[in-house]
Amino acid sequence: MPALKLADAVYSGSGTSAPTERIEWQEGFTDKQRTSEFCESTDPAGHFESSSSQGHQEYQDRLRCIALRQEGQEKAEIATAIGRSTKFVQTWWNKDPKTIPKPPGVHEYLKTEFWRDIQIVRGFAKGLGVYEDALPATEWIDNMADGQGFKDGGARLKYDKEGRMRPNGSQYSKDGLLAGRLPKLDKVVQRLLSEQNIDDRVLKRPGMLWYPDGTSQAIPHRHEAWTALMSFGAPRILTIDNHPVLLRDGDLIVFGTQRHGVPKMCNEGGSMEDYGGRMSVVFFFMPTGQQASGSSPWKAIHDDAPSRKMVAMQTDAQLGSAAELATLRADPSGKGASLAQLVALGFSEESSLHVLKAVAFDVEKAVEILLSGLADHDLAGLGSVESLDRSAQVALLCERLAALQLQKSKTSAAVVAAAEEESDESLALRLQFEEEGQAGGDTTDWEERAILEQLQELQSLEEQGGANESLEAQFASYEQILDANDAEDWDGRGDLMVRHWRREHLQIEQQEPCTVYSVGAGSQQHEKNFFELLSLHSVRVLYDLRPSPEHLRNWLSPESLEKSCKTRGLHYRHEAL
């Protein structure tokens, strides 16, 4: 079927008889006031095509031709699906995607595999109280406004008239989204990673953004990856290629290179300051694997239906545990040996496998967790028993020790009772207990000894706590040095200080002294002499402050200077004054 366009879906709900919401919002960059009407019953959901410009549309359709041909579609079918002529299809469908030229207006830094259609999933995590749970439990930091360079995609800070960094009004989580801190959100994230099949493709720690009221915003921008965004709290507009999509509590949207942003907004007749808060959880992931081959990124041109891949994933999820156990049983020398050790100690295969996966198949840590009774708890965010509070560890171990002693007393009572009766059955029971005791001691003795040893170790650690404080301070100092070194690692695109963690670790007082030179360059100057002068003074960075050098067609043009600097290992930046 022909591709469904986001613009058509966004505006198709207007004029409905169902209850609607009228929202006033400001366009990004222009601050133009707009009013849009939304209706929850007609909110767009599913797969949609969207492009920022005619050039972007042209480029996407070229890539679609190749993808659909790889899926086995004929020329006429492709032409119908993308709304183009067969001549257009004939021109592009046999080419390699990486050789497809980008039309004017399409960003050069965007790779071919980053392009895809939009998917909107309504009510994905609706009504779970995620916003109320996460907001007070998170440390929020003011977010500074930045924009991307058209040529290289580097982020550049935005400044006000006084030269100060301009805040966006939104805030972000200092540590991002950490597993184990927000249980309600953890469950939603696990479902997202599974259903979208992106668990092994997320680029970095997921981010969390908070928009306290209607004055908060995110300037329209793009990403060099695919994005999965979940929205929680009050309904909030997300503009996709300047089309307003109202995301409600628990909605999920997945998109590629489309330009998007969060505008200032309020209910019609209301004020932005009084509008409710909203939080977004953002995952950046790479389009690798099956999802990036063939027509998978172009879902808008197909009917929505469960794919073979999703059916297979659901089947695998049901059969995965049994298959994993069978695989480990057949591997007595590898990870299967770890499982066999725990089973030999009397633990079930299912519990042993669950704990081993949580601790990366470390047998000692697995035994600690199983002994302490933690196997019945959710171990998704638990690396080992050491992550618990020390007093909690002691309490759990003591509880297990008491249970073992109770079990031992009941067993002894049963043996005594059997000895008094001296029937054949009781005699056999007594002999069985004696035989087991001779073979390896009481079945609970080894567990009691292990618990007592662990309790002794915890007590020793507590006594050494004072000595460890100085060691921890030393490690913290090392970590701060490493963080500062990481902050200096920069690819040269955009502004170095655009990210908060760099601003935290890099201050002007910490930097080595440097010399700033001012040099003029006229049309009569030779290129060789110019760069020899820079080399003589060990210049490594060249800032071009000329207001309008674009008209030049010699070596002094910005394009030529940038290439010349690159070949000589210099960093070049044109910043017109």
CA 340 to chain centre: 35
Cα–Cα distance, 194 to 334 (Å, whole number): 27
* SS3 of residue 556 by DSSP: coil
Q: What is the pLDDT of residue 131?
A: 95
Q: What is the pLDDT of residue 346?
A: 77
Q: What is the pLDDT of residue 367?
A: 78
For residue 415, what are the CA distances in angstroms to 369, 426, 432, 443?
31, 8, 10, 14
Cα–Cα distance, 375 to 390 (Å, whole number): 18
Cα–Cα distance, 91 to 108 (Å, whole number): 21
Rg (CA), the chain: 32
β-bridge pairing 571-574 and 541-544: parallel
Whether 144 and 164 have beta carbons less than 8 Å apart is answered as: no
Cα–Cα distance, 283 to 208 (Å, whole number): 9
Q: What is the pLDDT of residue 366?
A: 77
β-bridge pairing 226-233 and 252-255: antiparallel
Q: What is the pLDDT of residue 3?
A: 65
Whether 208 and 277 have beta carbons less than 8 Å apart is answered as: no
Q: What is the pLDDT of residue 279?
A: 96
pTM assigned to the model: 0.58
Q: What is the pLDDT of residue 262?
A: 94
Q: What is the pLDDT of residue 320?
A: 55
Instruction: Kindly report the length of the chain.
Output: 577
Whether 314 and 305 have beta carbons less than 8 Å apart is answered as: no
Beta bridge partners of 267: 23
Q: Which helix (H) or strand (E) holds 34?
A: strand 33-38
β-bridge pairing 21-26 and 265-267: antiparallel
Name the residue among 493, 498, 534 with its Cα closest to residue 517.
534
Sheet hosting strand 265-267, strand order edge to edge? 33-38, 21-26, 265-267
Whether 349 and 325 have beta carbons less than 8 Å apart is answered as: yes
User: Which structure tokens are listed for 460?
Assistant: 């020793």
Whether 291 and 283 have beta carbons less than 8 Å apart is answered as: no
Whether 48 and 300 have beta carbons less than 8 Å apart is answered as: yes
Tens of pLDDT, residue by residue, the chain (577 residues) = 566 888 888 876 555 667 889 999 999 878 899 999 999 988 999 999 888 788 888 888 898 898 888 878 889 988 988 889 999 999 999 998 888 888 888 877 777 777 888 999 999 999 999 999 999 999 898 877 776 665 666 677 777 777 777 777 788 898 888 888 898 999 899 899 888 888 777 776 788 999 999 999 988 888 878 899 999 999 999 999 989 999 999 999 999 888 899 999 999 999 999 999 999 999 988 876 444 444 556 566 654 444 344 444 444 544 555 666 777 777 776 778 888 888 887 788 877 777 777 667 778 777 777 775 554 444 433 334 444 566 666 767 777 667 766 666 665 555 445 445 555 555 554 455 444 444 444 445 656 666 777 777 766 666 665 555 665 665 566 566 556 666 666 666 667 666 666 777 677 666 778 889 988 877 677 888 899 999 899 898 898 888 877 677 788 888 888 889 988 888 888 877 7
Cα–Cα distance, 213 to 563 (Å, whole number): 45
CA trace torsion 452, 456, 458, 461 (10° rounding): -160
CA distance between the termini of the chain: 52
For the beta carbon of residue 209, count every other beta carbon within 10 angstroms: 21
Q: What is the pLDDT of residue 476?
A: 61
Cα–Cα distance, 43 to 60 (Å, whole number): 25
Which residues, 6 or more positions from 177, have their beta carbon under 8 angstroms from its beta carbon?
185, 189, 205, 206, 207, 208, 281
**Angle at CA of residue 239, ends 250 and 26, nearest 5°:** 115
